[in-house]
Amino acid sequence: MSSEEIREENVYSSRKGILMMTGVLAFAALVIIVSYLVRMPSPEKALSLWTDGSASKEALISYMETITDEKSPDYIAPEDRIAVFDLDGTLFCETDPNYFDYTLLVYRVLEDPDYKDRASDFERETAGKIVTLNETGEAAKGLEMDHGRAVASAFSGMTIGEFNDYIQEFKKLPMPGYNGMNRGDGFYEPMLQVIDYLKENDFTIFVVSGTDRFIVRGILYDSPLDIPEAQIIGSDETVVAKDQGDTDGLNYVFDEDDELILGGDFIIKNLKMNKVAVIAQEIGVQPVLSFGNSSGDSSMAEYTTSNNPRKSLAFMLCCDDTVRENGNPEKADKMYDMCREFDWVPISMKNDWTTIYKDGVTRK
């Protein structure tokens, strides 16, 4: 074979190798795409616990199709897909007979045999106001702040781990108003589907709650809602070193024998405008989706949808189901009115969901 023939043979072999490699890579890419599509369920399957024709479901699906289409002018890059969720009444039961953290304080102060005799007068008074609220529906003025202070003092001195252990035990107690459900089981199943649907579409999820941050972490610990602790935001209390005493944190150095404990002082209630402030401080990116259920979430919803350079929506749950849930039609009607006024998307617990809680749960 001449040198020219050898050169042509080498060129042919090289081109053949390139074509074969290109084919292999194309096939591998096709396999990846197909496997991805197979793994990702259709929106209808992903949101199977939502009723056919639900306007709120269709609004979310339409939004998702638009912002994930790279050819759309409303396309949002994955790193900017931020969704914020309230907890109580949005992802988790808040009506049996009250917020999880309210019932936790009442138990700690009035029922816990290891603490009730040591509870302060202020803690007992605050717990009593919660009991009155449960019985009459009338909230004492300033109860939200008093509750925050009472939680901080009632659990003062516990390590963060001990506080979480306490919450886990409380979660095992039965829900008084439901059959087949404990305190820690109160997740809304259709909203868990929303969380999964958003994750499948590359959203980063933050829980932004008015409940104490460590209590929210405790509720979500070992739960169906898999959210990293770094993405859980709530009301705050002081945290100090065990051996710190009265020394200011600026003058104290944490050492190897120390551990963190709850300091006993309430810092901030993370509701209303405070939610917006903490989103700016801790997330640093304007969300594009907001989910809430009350006026305490209004600022978060408006911050999400106002002057946002990216396409955004705010959804609000309306507690209109009085058969499967301890609903409140009057409160629901007010939220429907707010949704019309502010152009939020209402979610009807009664009409948009085929179920609310896990299988086997019924209202007493």
Question: CATH no. for residue 196?
Answer: 3.40.50.1000
pLDDT of 193 > 90? The answer is: yes
pLDDT of 337 > 80? The answer is: yes
Which is more confident, 335 or 14?
335
Contact 283, 264 (CB under 8 A): no
pLDDT of 194 > 60? The answer is: yes
Residues shown for the chain:
364
Neighbours of 217 (CB within 10 A): 19
The pLDDT, as a whole number, for residue 12 is 57
Which tokens go with 348?
Answer: 């009807």
Kindly report the average pLDDT of the chain as a whole number. 93
In this structure, are 54 and 159 located in the same domain?
Answer: yes
The pLDDT, as a whole number, for residue 5 is 60
- Overall number of domains in the chain: 2
In this structure, are 128 and 9 located in the same domain?
Answer: no
In this structure, are 230 and 95 located in the same domain?
Answer: yes
Scan for tokens 């941050």, then name that residue: 213
The pLDDT, as a whole number, for residue 33 is 46
Contact 116, 124 (CB under 8 A): no
Separation of alpha carbons 273 and 300, rounded Å: 7
- The crossing angle, in degrees rounded to 10, of helices 298-305 and 273-282 is 50
In this structure, are 112 and 145 located in the same domain?
Answer: yes
The pLDDT, as a whole number, for residue 259 is 97
Which is more confident, 134 or 20?
134
Residue 343 banded pLDDT, cuts 50, 70, 90? very high
In this structure, are 211 and 102 located in the same domain?
Answer: yes
In this structure, are 32 and 74 located in the same domain?
Answer: no
Q: 286-317 pLDDT, tens per residue?
A: 999 999 999 999 999 999 999 999 999 999 99
Contact 239, 263 (CB under 8 A): yes
In this structure, are 29 and 155 located in the same domain?
Answer: no
Radius of gyration, CA atoms only, the chain: 26
133-153 average pLDDT score: 97
In this structure, are 91 and 215 located in the same domain?
Answer: yes
Percent of the chain past pLDDT 90, that is, above it, reads 88
In this structure, are 115 and 260 located in the same domain?
Answer: yes
In this structure, are 155 and 13 located in the same domain?
Answer: no
The pLDDT, as a whole number, for residue 29 is 47
Which tokens go with 215?
Answer: 């209590």
Q: What is the DSSP letter of 209?
A: E
342-356 average pLDDT score: 98
Neighbours of 283 (CB within 10 A): 16
pLDDT of 133 > 50? The answer is: yes
The pLDDT, as a whole number, for residue 38 is 46
pLDDT of 11 > 80? The answer is: no
In this structure, are 20 and 98 located in the same domain?
Answer: no
The pLDDT, as a whole number, for residue 143 is 97
The pLDDT, as a whole number, for residue 42 is 86
| Paired strand residues for 241 | 260
pTM exceeds 0.85, yes or no: yes
Q: 38-74 pLDDT, tens per residue?
A: 456 688 899 999 999 999 999 999 999 999 999 999 9
Q: 224-264 pLDDT, tens per residue?
A: 999 999 999 999 999 999 999 999 999 999 999 999 999 99
| Residue-number span of the structural domain to which 11 is assigned | 3-39
CA distances from 300 to 85, 86, 101, 273, 339 (A): 9, 9, 21, 7, 14
Q: End-to-end CA distance of the chain: give it in Å, rounded.
A: 92
